[in-house]
Structure 1
């Protein structure tokens, strides 16, 4: 198994493998994960399941690479809306504007679909489950330490609360379509999170 993973990583860096991942990402965003059949995905991409196994080492290697590509689009989107010196409240509201945009919501809807499948099949989706919260809290905690001068424990707690709240409100938006209500709730939460834990006053 370790050998297969290494092979998948090496081959997935090839240009053709990246092109297949891009095409698969578009297919999944348009149609969902489906039955997670490598053959059906290969048919949709105009290739064979053997070629996907060649590039990614195994069926699970392909799906893990695809999910990695999709979930990190979420982080990339947040990095693009944050500028140096942006206050935490403004950064959170900018991230919400990005994630809740009609053109981006299909990615969020897909992530929620992946959550459901991963929770039911933890072994197959272990990489997704290990990274989907941890990578976010690590990135945000570092930003909180720098911008709000928090200690490590406080920064990680605030990061975890922000991740959970942002995703919860996005799930609310996807489910109910209540853009006005979810946006108001996000802005309220962002204003509360901007209060310094040491002074009790807004950091903005």
Structure 2
């Protein structure tokens, strides 16, 4: 007889798996050590998620960085001020930092394992580009193609600088570069 799924327990396991992956990474993730680390068995992970790849896909979907809430919560901020706030959230102690770290790792893994990671990485990327494009188009009163180019510069540039911070720890240099990038991308015509 198939055991019914306890959705509350499934959500708890997914959250714990995400937290573990955010700390230890995806590249060497294995079900048995993950299960031990989060207080369950690999059999239960398979019961709830099917395969390791499905678990990873669901973790990345659950933990993808979110910008929509930031935009909605700060409608009065200028694009530059909002971008500086997002930069701090991406690289500081904000809740976006572990999500950004994991997304950056998934994007890197997608280069050599596209069937596992490319879709999730692309979805997370679009999840930032599209709302930033819309926000810039409104705030700067520019056309969609100009706003999309600015959003791509801003989002991709900040992700690259976040990777720099995570790898080198040189926050001051990256902060200075982020300021230049934000100013360039959000300057009016």
Query: Could you list the runs of 5+ residues in structure 2 that have no partner in the other structure?
Result: none
Cα deviation for residue 137 of structure 1 reads 0.8
Q: Larger deviation: 82-91 or 127-136?
A: 127-136
What is the rounded CA distance, in whole Å, between the counterparts of 2:5 and 2:184 in structure 1? 43
Q: Larger deviation: 48-57 or 140-149?
A: 48-57
Q: Larger deviation: 41-50 or 16-25?
A: 41-50
- Write the deviation string for residues 20-66 of structure 1: whole angstroms up to 9, x where unpaired: 11111221223222523223222222222232222223322111001
What is the rounded CA distance, in whole Å, between the counterparts of 2:79 and 2:135 in structure 1? 9
Cα deviation for residue 132 of structure 1 reads 2.6
Say what the alpha-carbon RMSD is for the aligned residues: 2.6
Cα deviation for residue 177 of structure 1 reads 1.8
Query: Could you list the runs of 5+ residues in structure 1 that have no partner in the other structure?
Result: 1-10, 198-204
Q: Specify the SS of the correspondent of 1:39.
A: helix
- In structure 1, which of residues 160, 178, 193 is the aligned counterpart of residue 185 of structure 2? 193
Quickly say closer, same or farther: Cα 1:164–1:76, change in 2 above 3 A. closer
Partner residue of 1:25?
18
Query: Does 2:73 match 1:75?
Result: no
- In structure 2, which of residues 44, 50, 72 is the aligned counterpart of residue 51 of structure 1? 44
Cα deviation for residue 161 of structure 1 reads 1.0
For the 8 Å contact 1:12–1:56, the answer to whether it is kept is no
Cα deviation for residue 106 of structure 1 reads 4.6
Partner residue of 2:30?
37
Partner residue of 1:157?
149
Quickly say closer, same or farther: Cα 1:80–1:103, change in 2 above 3 A. same
Q: Larger deviation: 132-141 or 101-110?
A: 101-110
For the 8 Å contact 1:82–1:91, the answer to whether it is kept is no
Query: Does 2:116 match 1:92?
Result: no
What is the rounded CA distance, in whole Å, between the counterparts of 1:12 and 1:160 in structure 2? 41
Q: Specify the SS of the correspondent of 2:85.
A: helix
Partner residue of 1:144?
136
When normalised by structure 1's length, the TM-score is 0.78
Cα deviation for residue 77 of structure 1 reads 8.8
Figure out how many residues of one structure are paired with residues of the other and give that number.
Answer: 185
Query: Does 2:115 match 1:120?
Result: no
Q: Larger deviation: 91-100 or 127-136?
A: 127-136
